Structure 1
Amino acid sequence: MKTHTVRRFGEVVEINPRRWNSVAPTTPVSFVPMAAVSETSGTITEKATRAFEEVAKGYTLFADNDVLFAKITPCMENGKAAIVRDLEGGLGAGSTEFYVLRPGEEILPEFVFHFVRRASFRALCKANFTGTAGQQRVPRQFLENVPLFVPPLDEQRRIVGLLDRAAEIRRRADAARAKARAIIPALFLDMFGDPATNPNGWPVLSVGDLLEAASYGTSQKANENGEGIPVIRMGNVLMDGQLNTADLKHIVLSPEEQERVSLRHGDILFNRTNSKDLVGKTGLWDGRFDAVLASYFIRLRVDEKLTCPTFLWAFMNSSFMKQVLFNTARGAIGQANINTKELKAFRVYVPPLPLQRTFAEQVIRIESIARALDAAAAKAEAMAAALSAEVFG
């Protein structure tokens, strides 16, 4: 009876196989740039077709059932890896920053894919990077000598099936969550009308008219050792206005400063400084934990006798307002800015407060569904991680 054996990676997987010699120059082949490999799904999102003579030099060559694995930072850490299939004529070319991993007879492409996609493996690769900052790469020698368990093929198929099912649950949950949250802007337009035309003739006020206060966050330096209180930074507010607090830093502040920049439920977080296409990102603090705000933001506290925080948050995230923000932002491409005076001057229609509150209740229900989907996806991911840890060590 066959059992698991421990092998060096380079013994069971050919890394960067030899280039092709017998392909006619005009033969069509698939072209896969680094950007075409999804770091979230581990799939190739699009393929172009080029003549072989266009890609024969200066690119990495591969074939159906090879595994592409990004070797350069930050693509490797982000999880850019995929099995290539359905290539034009079975052949393809792409970035030289890919390692091409060709499984031998003892190992399945899917098994190799799941092995290199693990977060723990990517952390190990990062710890062995060579090169200068911004151009660090996984050394080939390190990759060749990584040990891995190689079970019999039937066992590999069983393991791959379990990992694939967990990944599919994650993909479906992600897709359902995205659809749930896409309902919010559609609901906003349905209930209130397009802000560009104000078809219902709602009264129009400035943002400043609706506020109790507007203030900047703290400019004190944050730390990564968990000391102090969490600080919400630019990356914690996404382009669609959602919050992502998976990556947090902390900050130590005096009691007076902490009180000045603390967040409470319903605070609106306006990203005043960023690249021109991202300046104006607007989040809504839901009070999920005690936190303070970084200086890249303006904290808005609305007068809830006049407007509902959820309504103003959704207005600021409407397509109309995003275009207004883009047109208003001043400065270079890398560092645009909108100041408090400009923010307060923006015009906003103000529907009846009961209608705004009805909208906020609907948003709470949608977000509840989205959080449940997040939990289901996290559970599937934890199951897959536990299985991977057991299989791969």
Structure 2
Amino acid sequence: MNKAEYINIIPFSQLHMWDVKRHLIREIQSSFPLIPLSELIEENNNKVKLNEYPDKEFGILGVNNIDGLFDAYTEKGKKINQSYKKMETNELAYNPYRINVGSIGMKTFLHKNDYISPAYVVFRCNERLNPEYLYKLFKTNTFDKIINENTTGSVRQNLKFDTLKNIRIPLPPLSEQNQILETYSKKIQQAEELEKNSMVLEEGIEEFLYDELDIKKIEPKTETKIFNTISYKEVERWSVDTLGKLSQIENKFQGKYQLIKLRELINSYQYGLSEKSSKEPSGYPMLRMNNINNSALNIRDLKYIKIDEQTFLKYKLNKGDLLFNRTNSKELVGKTALFDIEGKFTFASYLIRVEIDDNKADKRYLNYLFNSSILQYQKNLVSRQITGQANINAQEMQAFLFPNPPLTKQREIADKIESLKDKARLLKLEAIKSRKEALKEFENEIFKKCN
């Protein structure tokens, strides 16, 4: 039995807090000197009583573990009761209760807002430490472990500023910090270039659709006419906000192919289940509106539902079913995805399952059109805003107009779009890989691996 596995010698100078958690960890290793942050950072407690300026608009910042620091919202001073901290460029802020999951950010010249909740810890770096170097350090796996080992609290883990100051970091000379960051930035620029190229391919899909369908792309304009003449054949729903919209769509999107209503291309439709679902992986997985993303399914965040076999068979998704999102934000309502994965899945009530008639339309073609601006224009015309959510019912969905080329042409268009999307997806994956490599190389440059 090796005594060293159970006994760890701690210098008295490092005993800032008396708990086992901090002193069972091994000292980090680096070829650079380890300097306590107390010598490098200073807290910013510059608070302003914003309600003393009741009619002035203040830009508020937020912090999360995805975007870091971000411009959250603007609010009039009279609605802000607490004194908020004012952040300066190059200062950092973190959520003391979520720093263990990476909730930290740095203010740059790109941020328009200046004020942040007093719940966040704000601090600046002195001339020995490049704040961007420290920010990237927080994002490494090694430093993330160090942060987690220094949080306290039995229910909510907390990292106080005084505790942060006692953490020691590898500190290269400032010139070398800048050089390490420059190498990192070059790799990130490569990733950004890949992301840009991916976006160009995605945007090219719209242009390709309009060209293939011989439709002139027209930007939607606000209708200013008070009186409108309606053809009787359009009157399927008697409401002022619906009448006349068919003519608007026909005028804007008539190309070389006849426009045909969705109801003429489908066999059936069905609303999903309204029963309560759970994240506990028990029962059948149930697809919801957040599982539809950019004409494809995203099943990373699934919920499950316990139902009997008979109910499941009634709502069981079949390969090739088109899922229509009938309730969501104005931008996302009406988005679709094809169910094209293996497994026993059902779907929630905010979705409509549509069975396409394969003899009349290509499923992929309709799916891509549903997610294009051609259909977005139509969705904007008919969707209704209720308590912050936009809604489109099954009757309105079936009235949407689609350019109807021959099946062979639909398949040709779908094949081309599929190819463009595959190329865009590969570029995104390369960009993700490049970003991960950039951070890993940064980390390897700073820390030596422990034996």
TM-score (norm 2): 0.64
> How far apart are 1:215 and its partner, in Å?
1.7
Within a 5 Å distance, the mapping from 1:239-318 to structure 2 comes to 240-287=294-341, 291-318=345-372
Distance 1:170 1:349, change over 3 A: same
Counting matched residue pairs gives: 361
Indicate if the aligned counterparts of 1:83 and 1:113 stay in contact, CA closer than 8 A: no
Q: State whether structure 2 residue 212 is matched by structure 1 residue 191.
A: yes
The aligned amino acid for 1:216 is Y
1: CA distance, partners of 2:189 / 2:404: 43
Change over 3 Å in CA distance of 1:226–1:199 after alignment to 2: same
Q: 1:147 is matched with which residue: 167, 190, 208?
A: 167
Match of 2:108 among 66, 84, 88: 84
1:368 aligns with 2:418: no
- Measure the CA separation in 2 of the matches of 1:123 and 1:346: 56
What is the alpha-carbon distance in structure 1 between the residues aligned to residue 393 and residue 68 of structure 2?
Answer: 40
Task: Check if 1:160 corresponds to 2:181.
Answer: yes
The aligned counterpart of 2:433 is: 379
Contact 2:95/2:103 (8 A) holds in 1: no
Equivalent residue number for residue 16 of structure 1: 44
Distance 2:169 2:109 in 1: 25
Query: Contact between 2:98 and 2:158, CA under 8 Å: does it hold in 1?
Result: no
How far apart, in 2, do the equivalents of 1:325 and 1:76 lie? 42
Measured after TM superposition, the shift of residue 320 of structure 1 is 4.1
2:410 to 336, 349, 356: 356
The gaps in structure 2 that reach 5 residues or longer are 1-29, 49-57, 75-81, 217-248
Distance 1:294 1:181 in 2: 29
Q: Percent identity?
A: 24
Cα drift, residue 40 of structure 1: 6.4
**Structure 2 Cα separation of the partners of residues 346 and 115 of structure 1:** 52
Seen in structure 2, the aligned counterparts of structure 1 residues 364 and 277 have a Cα distance that, compared at 3 Å, is closer
3-state secondary structure, aligned to 1:283: strand
Would the aligned equivalents of 1:268 and 1:313 in 2 still touch at CA under 8 Å? Answer: yes
3-state SS of 1:231 partner: strand
Alignment equivalent of 1:111, drawn from 133, 140, 145: 133
Are 2:289 and 2:325, in contact at CA under 8 Å, matched by a contact in 1?
A: yes
Choose which of 63, 67, 86 in structure 1 pairs with 2:91: 67
Change (3 A) 1:70 1:249: farther
CA distance in 2, matches of 1:8, 1:250: 48
State the secondary structure of the residue aligned to 1:354: helix
Corresponding residue number in structure 1 for 2:401: 347
Classify 1:335/1:241 alpha carbon distance in 2 versus 1 (closer, same or farther; 3 Å). Answer: same
Counterpart Cα distance in 2 of 1:280 and 1:96: 37
Distance 2:163 2:396 in 1: 53
TM-score (norm 1): 0.72
Is the partner of 1:175 in helix, strand or coil? helix
Cα distance change on mapping 1:217 and 1:44 into 2, 3 Å:
closer
Q: RMSD between aligned alpha carbons?
A: 4.5
Q: Measure the CA separation in 1 of the matches of 2:373 and 2:100.
A: 33
Cα gap change, 1:258 to 1:144, in 2 (>3 Å): same
| 2:338–2:367 CA contact under 8 A, matched in 1 | yes
Question: Once the 2 structures are TM-superposed, how far is the Cα of residue 231 of structure 1 from its aligned partner?
Answer: 3.5
Check whether the contact 2:325–2:335 (CA below 8 A) recurs between aligned residues.
yes
Q: Deviation at 1:300?
A: 1.4
